[in-house]
Structures are given as C-alpha cells and as structure tokens.
Copies of this chain bind each other. A is one copy, B any other.
Amino acid sequence: MTDTPSALSPVLEQADKALDAALERLFAFLRIPSISTQPEHAVDCRCAAQWLRDELDSLGFDARLCETPGHPIVVAHDRTPPAGPHVLFYGHYDVQPVDPLSLWKTGPFEPVLVTGKDGVKRIVARGASDDKGQVMTFIEALRAIRATQGTLPVRVSLLIEGEEECGGPNLLPFMDAHSDELRADVGLICDTAMLPGVPAVTTMLRGMVGEEIHLRCADRDLHSGIYGNAARNPVELLCQALASIRDPQSGRVTLPGFYAGVQDPPEALRARWAEIAPDDATFLGEVGLSVAAGEKGYTAIEQTWCRPSFEINGISGGYADEGFKTVLPGEAVAKVSFRLVAGQDPIRIRQAFCARVRDMLPADCTVTFKPCGGSMASTLPDGTFGLRPTLAALGAEWGTPAVTIGCGGSIPVVADMRRVLGMSALLVGFALDDDRAHSPNEKYDLTSFHKGIRSWVRILHAMAASHA
C-alpha cells in the first residue's frame, strides 16, 4: 500500500504544490448559483457549464456545450489521447436550492475555507461537496498530470450534466443519441461518500421514485367556522393517506408487494460494515438524533445502504405563516419519494403508491399525481473493469484498505450508463456523511479535496498499469 511508482511522485508533488490555485478555481466554480430546479437560475446553470467547458478546453480537451430542452450538458474528449483503456468521467454542475437561507452562516454562493475548533479545514458553500468539489478533484488530477507528464495515462472523456438535482429527463435521451461517442470501457463517477479515513467504492446504489400529490376538495379556501366538519379537509385526507404508507410499529412500508424481490446483502458484508461503519448512535448523533427510525432489525447504515425507504420530502396546505387563520384549505400538496434497492421495480411501486392514495380518498376529493423521476437500483459486479486497480490505488493513497459500500442516495446515471452505453461505472467519492449535502452550510473537507485529487492521479495510473 505504500509503494508509489516513481513516475507518480512528481505528479503527486505537483498536485500538492498547486492546491491553493486549485482551491481558487473551485471557489470560482462555487460562486455560480447553478440551482437547476429553479427556473430563475437557468442562466447560472449555463454559466457553470461554460465555465467547465473553458477549463477543460484549457486542459487540452475538445470541450463543448450540448443543448437540451433543459440545461446544457458538457462533453469533452482528450485532444491527444493515449492508446489503452478509455474512461468516461461523469459529474454534475448543478446544485440544490439553498432554503432556508437564514440558517446559512455564510452566503451559500460565497465560498469560504473555515478552520474548525478540531483544526479541520473545510470548504463551505452550496455544492462544495455535491458535486462541484468532487468534480474538481478529477479535473485538478488531470491538470497535475498534464503539468508534469503531458499525456494522460488513459484515454479520458467527460460528461458533466446540469439536471442531476432536479431529476431532469434530458440526460438519458442525450446519452442515447450520442452513445457511440460516449461509450468507454468504464464510467468513473465522483458523487458519493466514503467513511471517515476509509476510502470506498460504492457498489450498491438505491434507485428512486418521486411523486408530487395535489389534493383538492372545495373549489376555494373556506371559513372553518362556516364549513368546518361538513366540508372535506384536503390536509386531513393527505395526512391520513401519507400516515398509512408506513407501519409505525415495524417501520416497514405497507404498500402491497413493496418488498417483493428485495434481498439482504451477504452476512459477511453486513459484518464488515458493522466493523467499519459508525453505529446508530454515532451516525444519527451527528444530526441530533439517537434512535434509528426505520425498519426494525437493521442498523441505521444498513437501512440507508441496502433497504428501501419512504420519505415525505415536503408538505403544504392552508395557512402556516405567522399568526393564525381559521381557514379550511381547498388544496393540499405533498412531495414524497421512495428509495429502491435491487429487485424493486420503480413503475410497480409508483402504481402501488398512487393506488393506495386513491383508495383512501372519499368522494368530493380529486387527486393529481405528478411523477418526479424514477430509477432502478443497481449493484456492481465484482469483476467490473477497473474495480481492483481502483481499490488498490485508493488504499495506497489513504493508507488503509478500501472497501465496497452501499449508498443511500440515488444516482440514476449508473443504471442509464449500463443500459444505454453497456458499461459499468465505478463510484469513487470523497464526501463524508456530515457534509450537509442538500442542507444549509454544506461543506467539503479540504482533505477530501486534496487527497481526492491525489486519489484520481493514482487511479488513472493504476488503470493504465493494470491494462498494460
């Protein structure tokens, strides 16, 4: 694990030397408020895409913006590729909304490097971890290699999209239309987490089904005194329907067939996870909780890595601002999502959910469903191209054996790459679970950024070496 090929040393030294400059570039990228789900930020999304294109162009890539009905996709190919294996790097330049803004200690798009009381240096900004910081670990690795060796060790292409956070439908048809151009030996994706100090390749990814539900009863908001009791309350109906999805005792989802085809991971892997992953109290303690809420019989880590889940992501109805309004609302809205594991069919689960909600609604209530993304879970086969050299390279950089883990989040592009491009993807990420992705004060440890760059340098060289 400690043997660093002599060709590698100057590259790693270059990455160390250039860290401050790399940080400045990342800050410039982070300053662009590329929130893909909010239409008023469309111009910022384009700006972020252009920024990436210019960076990649300056690094010797043929880089271009590819238009879609939504935000543009950045595609880049090495102008002077070596012979040997071909990798396609995937990332996204879009970020989550920033509300509630009041909880941010510094502006979400004013990145800062903060040294904590624990002496740890952290990059704080929306997108620091998800996914701009992670994307830049790869690009800065390319830069360090270019600066020292000129030619990259493997043939590299990049595909960086702008609709990952909004479940945009445009990447899949784009990949379909450009499959010949994009096909490679393996995909490299930097959008996942590792355990503190223990590098990881994420080999189990949950899928997702999202749904927006609008319930309407009366044709307008009513006075609760005049109509209360007699007129249906859509908020109450929504609460009843959503409360029925999970059994509070067992923590299990009650939709018929929800767990059909779901299998537990091998006991050996669960035992390994128990060794390296934080226990429930530690994992949940990070966010002020102590008791795992979901399915009985599984640790918190297992629940998020390899068990399907149900979440209410948002709800709204009536008057919830300051003061009190005795209104009987005419409408109520909720957004919910299911995280899926291998064996679950997103279409059947969506149908089961919608059927349950419909079944619970009385006359005088109309429901409208709006699907928001759907993807299958995926599991990476052990023999995947590049997996072994990648695990070895990560182990060398971090000084401890790398492990394969699961991931609670959904990265639909993994399944899409397999189906459309016929290739697997290696999920290598340096985020930590406490990075506050999607929350105020999102951060990325400077160590994640620095050792992330060095890790990619090693991985690209290891892939070339394993092929040679």
Contact = CB atoms under 8 A, between A and B. Distances in A.
Given A303-B230, A322-B37, A313 B287 contact: no
Given A227-B287, A284-B231, A313-B327, A320 B333 contact: yes
Interface in A430-468: 433, 436-440
A14 interface: no
A236 interface: yes
A313 B303 contact: no
B313 A226 contact: no
A227 B294 CA distance: 10
A38 B329 contact: no
Interface string A212-243: 10000111111111111111110110111011
Given A320-B314, A329-B314, A408 B438 contact: no
A339 B229 contact: yes
B312 A235 contact: yes
Contacts of A320: 314-316, 333-335
9 contacts: A165-B325, A220-B439, A223-B437, A225-B409, A229-B339, A230-B292, A231-B284, A291-B362, A314-B318
A382 interface: no
Interface residues of A, number: 104
A166 interface: yes
A81 interface: no
A317 interface: yes
A318 to B, nearest CB: 4
Interface of A: 37-39, 96-97, 99-100, 103, 165-167, 193, 206, 208, 210, 212, 217-233, 235-236, 238-240, 242-244, 246, 248, 251, 280, 283-284, 287-295, 300-301, 303-304, 307-329, 332-335, 337, 339, 362-364, 372-373, 407-410, 433, 436-440
Given A437-B226, A438-B223, A314 B309 contact: no
Contacts of A433: 226
A318 B312 contact: yes
A287 B226 CA distance: 12
A226 B409 contact: yes
Given A240-B243, A410-B225, A294 B230 contact: yes
A300 B332 CA distance: 22
Contacts of A218: 287-289
Given A218-B287, A290-B364, A364-B290, A311 B409 contact: no
A239 B339 CA distance: 20
For A206, A295, A308, A438, which residue has the most chain B Cβ atoms within 10 angstroms? A438
For A251, A284, A290, which residue has the most chain B Cβ atoms within 10 angstroms? A284
Nearest to A232: B293
A325 B287 contact: no
Nearest to A211: B324
Contact of A229 (B100, B236, B303): B303
A171 to B, nearest CB: 16
A4 B322 CA distance: 50
Contacts of A232: 289, 293
Contact of A291 (B225, B292, B311, B364): B364
